[in-house]
Amino acid sequence: MATVLNDGRGRAPRLDPLPADTPRIRDGHLGAVYYGQRRSGDFYDFVRVNDHRVLFGLFDVAGEFETTRPIMVPLQETFRSYAPQLLQTSTANEPESMLELWIKLNKVIMKAANGIRSCPAFLGCYNEDVKMLCYVNAGHTPGLCRIGNHTRLLDATALPLGLFSHSVPDSSVIVLGPGNGLLLVSSGVVEAKHRGEEFGLERAREYFHQSRFESAHETCVGVLAQVRQFMGTAPTHNDVTAVSLIRSALLEEE
């Protein structure tokens, strides 16, 4: 039975991250889905920081769920409180702010873990005014970005969170046109196996390239359905998670 300690101010500390509220965005959709019950350290979150910026993250804290909970809670609290400080003003530099966020989250994880605890993560800031995505891929499974007839990989730009107290991350930017989109999948998607063969990133990439859902939620549900179909059973080997951002296609002129 879990013991809940008082935080000294008359409040019991939370044991689990708060549920994520998916914000609406102009000219598009955000979505995120877990398959079934979480088993380890996957979690996603969203923060609307002002009227034209939305921040999102997909995190994968190493370890079983019970051991990752004390890390996920302060990680989420910092993600939700520190990001608005960095990005709320219209003059905020998004690439620099995303690097500052990586540095802050890295420190929080190492403090909560009392040492090293790997946490691959994909952090994204979407600017609705200029349709620009600024991101840091901290050792996470590459993001899948569909632009026109091509689907490219958004590879790592930084080391996973929680490994080194001094490390220099990098950020990158990409513009999303009408009909373009982003799909993030957890390692549990890529590592899903059937008779020794992995689902792999290429199958996720091919699915996203061919899919034309305007709903990000449907896009996430679709890729997780592909994993279940591939395995021939419900995935229970790991957390299986997807996050997506889809820009709406332009309406055809009448």
| Residue 38: per-residue pLDDT | 63
- Given the candidates 3.30.1490.100, 3.40.50.1110, 3.90.950.10, 3.60.40.10, the CATH classification of the domain at 28-247 is 3.60.40.10
Core vs surface per residue 34-72: b (16+ CB within 10 A) or e: bbeebbbbbbbbbbbbeeebbbbbbbbbbeebeebbebb
Whose structure tokens read 């605890």? 117
Q: Supply the pTM of this predicted model.
A: 0.91
pLDDT of 116 higher than 50: yes
Distances (CA, A) of 129 to 90, 174, 181: 11, 14, 16
Q: Which residue has the higher pLDDT, 63 or 202?
A: 202
pLDDT of 14 higher than 60: yes
- Interval 129-181: pLDDT, tens: 999 999 999 999 999 999 989 999 999 999 999 999 888 899 999 999 999 99
Mean pLDDT in residue range 34-40: 70
Domain positions in the chain? 28-247
